[in-house]
Structures are given as structure tokens and as C-alpha cells.
Amino acid sequence: MKFECNRSKLTDAVTNVQRAVSSKSTIPALEGILIKAADNTITLYGYDLDICITTAIEASVRENGNAVIPAKLFSEIIRKMPEDIISINVDEKNIVYISSGNADYKIIGLPASDYPEIPIIRSEDTIKIDGETLASMIRQTIYAVSDKDTKPAHKGSLFEIADKTIRIVSVDGYRLAIRTEKVDYDGEKNFIVPGKSLLEVTKLIDDNTETIDIVASGRHIIFRIGNYSIISRLIEGEFMNYKTSIPTACMTTLRVKTNSFIKTIERMSLLLTDKMKSPIRCYIDNNLIKASCETPLGRANDQLEVIMEGENVEIGFNNKFLLDAFRYSETDEVCLKLTGALSPMTITPTEGDSFLFLLLPMRLTK
């Protein structure tokens, strides 16, 4: 294999593809980047058996071929090369020669035959969605993906697609996040995408991303984002029947300014540490949220004006969970609905139904 290409383009491609490369693996080839050179194009693959990131860039290919190059070392070498053009030559013994200007390297590669087979998705049933819309939907739900092993299905987000609507749902046992948008797709699909894969999707979406193609088939899914493709395994298993967790009754409704409440929570959180945990106590009365927090470090009090309808209530919440829900609402105001001190609180936009966050309270002691 022999080719020349632009250093900047190669650096960007390697940086992005490298995120799917295993840092430690029993399969040495998975710690490298697979490169295929043909027809004046080089295609790069990073793969850790769960997620694959691939892209192609233009190159002057002198000799077709495939090889695996150690990812970390390769990335560091090309980033520090002195000239705009890099030449790469891999011989029959998989020795990799990299040169640019007066600098050159000789490193040991691996044969492409050592690289595991990349999953192939043959379905052409494509869901198209605006890039920024998908990024927003993932941002507003991924915070509620579980990081525990108790139920594997909850380590990902559920995609529900029906009636020209796409819904993304995440749940971790303490909170629920739902994000809904219209989509130009007539079919129906349900699948669970690992949270790790969705994070990589958001990293590849930028201001120039217009439309993203999503193809889900069998056990894998592919997201086509510009010149990149992310192939991910899907999570098998049963996702929680989340609809039964959403309260149907409401005793108290609040209209709250998002940033003001975030600042209140942050002030209460100054007394909280990993070792000193305590709920933020919210007493809701007469168009006020009276917030307080007490730990061995001391006591804090604050209050916030709100628009209130319904009964007074005193309720407690984990400060981090409260902050996450309000920060990811991405709206100036939100609507809070409560049905008592021990029932979940829902957070929705004041207009429309683009998102719904649900948060379980903490039991308060007098």
C-alpha cells in the first residue's frame, strides 16, 4: 500500500476515527486503525466490537492495499509532521513508512486480515432527520441513561418511530427523559442505541451537518453524518414501560424561570459533597419555592418566585438530578407538575410537548 494525502485532512480523520479504537484489547488489531487504499481514496476504520467509526478522504494512491496501523502512535506522528503532504508506504511485511518533508518514521503495522469483520447493514430503509434536531434530542435525553449494569437495556436510549414522529427515551431508575419531534418517515421502528454510541454521534454533528441518515436493521444501526458513518450494535432486551410511570393526576402546577432555579440549586449545592449528601428541600407555598439544604457543613436557604396553581407541597430532590433536568431543558421557562411529596415530578415546556422529564423525589426527614 502506498499513498500521499493532505496532512490536515488525515489528522482530522484519524482523530475522529480513533475514538472508536480500543485502548486495550486481547485482539491487537483493534488497537489500530484499519486503512484501505484504492481508487485515489483511503478509507479509515476504528472499531472496538461495539462501535465502528469510518470515513474516507481523497488521496493520491500509488499502490492499492490494506493495513492496520497502531492508532495512538499514528495519530501523534501525523499531527507533528512538518509539511502539508504526508507519504505512507506499507511493505509486504507490514512495516509502515511515514514521511513528510525531512521527517520520516518506520513503525510496525499489522495485516488487515487480523482485523475483525465490520458489521454490514444491507437495509435501505432510511430515516432522515435534521442534524441539529437529532443532536438536541440526544443532548436532552442522554443524561438519564443508566450507568449501572442492573438492566442492560437502560444503558441506552429507546428510539420509538411511528406516525411520522420520532421519540427518544432514557431512564435510569431515578429519572426519565423523553424528547419528541416530527420526522418524514412513514414506517414504524423501535430499537435501543447504547449511550456511548449516541455520544459519538453528537461529537460528529457540527454547524455544517444538514441531514443525518439513520438505518437500523437486525442487531446494528448506522448513522451517516456528512463524510462519516457510525455503526453501532443495538442493545437487546426489554425497555421499561415508561408510559405507566408518568403521573396522570396533578395537585400542584408551577411555572418556573429556568436559569433562576438553576442558580438557586447551585447555591444550595455548595454545602453538598460526595460524602455529605442531603436532599434539597423545596417548600412550595404562595407563589414561592422556599429552598433549603442542611449538612454537617452548615445550612443554606433561598427562595424563588413562581407562578403557582394548586396545593402547597413540601418535597425533596437530589441536587445533581435537579440540575441536570433544568440545564437540559434548554428553555427559558418550564412547567412543573407535582402530585404529592412522594410522587414523581414532571418537567415540560410551557408550550408544546417536545420534552418531558420525570424526577423521583427523595424522602424528607423532619
Convert 284-316 to b/e letters by CB count within 10 Å (16 or more is b). beeeebebbbebeeeebebebebebeeeebebb
Per-residue pLDDT at 217: 87
Lookup: cell for 194: 447504547
Given the DSSP bridges, would you call strands 313-317 and 228-233 parallel, antiparallel or unpaired? unpaired
Check if 2-114 and 127-241 are the same fold: yes
- Range from 59-68, 144-153, 215-224 carrying the lowest mean pLDDT: 144-153
Alpha carbon dihedral 131, 132, 134, 137, in 10-degree steps, equals 180
150 pLDDT above the threshold of 80: no
- pLDDT, one tens digit per residue, over 175-186 is 999 999 999 999
- pLDDT, one tens digit per residue, over 13-62 is 999 999 999 988 899 999 999 999 999 999 999 999 999 999 999 999 99
Domain spans of the chain?
2-114, 127-241, 246-359
149 pLDDT above the threshold of 90: no
Per-residue pLDDT at 24: 87
Convert 55-91 to b/e letters by CB count within 10 Å (16 or more is b). bebebebeeebbbbbbbebbbebbeebeeeebbbbbe
Query: Which CATH number is 246-359 given?
Result: 3.10.150.10
**Domain range 2-114, CATH architecture:** Roll (3.10)
DSSP string, 172-219: -SSEEEEEEEE-S--S-EEEEEEHHHHHHHHHH--TT--EEEEEEETT
**127-241 falls under which CATH superfamily?**
DNA Polymerase III, subunit A, domain 2 (3.10.150.10)
Rounded mean pLDDT of the chain?
Answer: 95
Per-residue pLDDT at 276: 78
Strand partners, 217: 220
Of the candidates 311, 316, 305, 315, which has an alpha carbon nearest to the alpha carbon of residue 252?
311
